Amino acid sequence: MRTLGPDEEDDLTAEPALPAPSTPRGGVAGSIPTCTVPPFAAGPRRAFLAAAVRSPGQIGAVAPSSPRLADLLASVVPTHGAPIVVELGPGTGSVSAAIAERLPAGARHLAVELDPRLAAYLRRTRPDMEVVVGDAEHLTGLLAARSVPAVDAVVSGLPWSLFGGATQRAILDQVAAAIGPTGAFATFAYTHTAPMTTARRFRRMLSEVFDEVVVSRTIWRNLPPAYAYVCRRPRSEGRYQSVQRDTGR
């Protein structure tokens, strides 16, 4: 594990692992990457496929994140106190389950999902979460409207490779404003996309926005294999403050 410089473009797969979650959930067998689904079986898989067919330009994945990847992403979620956690692009809730497993009583778990049908599905299946139909690009406004001044962690399932550079930057600035100097941000990318220009640009952008960017080892038990970024300490004080002013914080 280490921090990336803004211009580094080396092999991600050589990175050592982030700390392993203490209680990985089941559902993955052998060394073949498989698509696993939460315990409520065919429901989420059907809902995910339907969303992927309905709006392929918004989903950007062939399967929900595996429990292994979900646990890794959720590792930024505090397990004590009364944290406020935001999930971006929860889809059918595979990462939501890992977040919920860590959250202590009294925590808040907000989930911002652009697809209203997926949001309706999540409201049915995950009543523990506050599901918000909205665009991650408007995160600080969505939080301000719910009287949430700052959050402890943001966990993203967003399909970054489908976004243009301006959208990526706008969302990252919103995340930076939401977590402030003390929060954490976790997101993921697919290993096969790492050499692509857009993925390389996204990595550079992460290092521009955050002082610390930690890259995980490859999670092979995911379809397709993926890795996580964990970011802390937004760099741009000026940009951070201007978003705060916009949202009245």
Ligand X SMILES: C[S@@+](CC[C@H](N)C(=O)[O-])C[C@H]1O[C@@H](n2cnc3c(N)ncnc32)[C@H](O)[C@@H]1O
Q: Which of residues 7-66 bind ligand X (CB under 6 A)?
A: 58-61, 64-65
Q: Is 77 in the site for ligand X (CB under 6 A)?
A: no
Contact present, 33 and 224 (Cβ < 8 Å): yes
For residues 118 and 175, which CB has a smaller minimum distance to ligand X in the complex? 118
Closest separation in Å from C-beta 133 to ligand X: 9
CB of 152 to ligand X, least distance (A): 19
Shortest distance in whole angstroms from residue 171 CB to ligand X = 7
Phi and psi at 130, nearest 5°, equal -95, 105
- DSSP character string of 4-68: PPTT----GGGSPPPPPPSS--S---SSS------TTTHHHHHHHHHHHHH-HHHH--SSPPPHH
Could you count the other beta carbons within 10 Å of the beta carbon of residue 243? 22
How many residues interact with ligand X (rule CB under 6 A)? 23
Instruction: Name which position in 75, 85, 103, 113 contacts ligand X (CB under 6 A).
Output: 113
Per rule CB under 6 A, is residue 136 in the interface with ligand X?
Answer: yes
How many CB atoms are closer than 10 A to CB 75?
Answer: 22
Chain positions contacting ligand X, by CB under 6 A: 58-61, 64-65, 88-91, 94-95, 112-115, 118, 135-137, 157-159
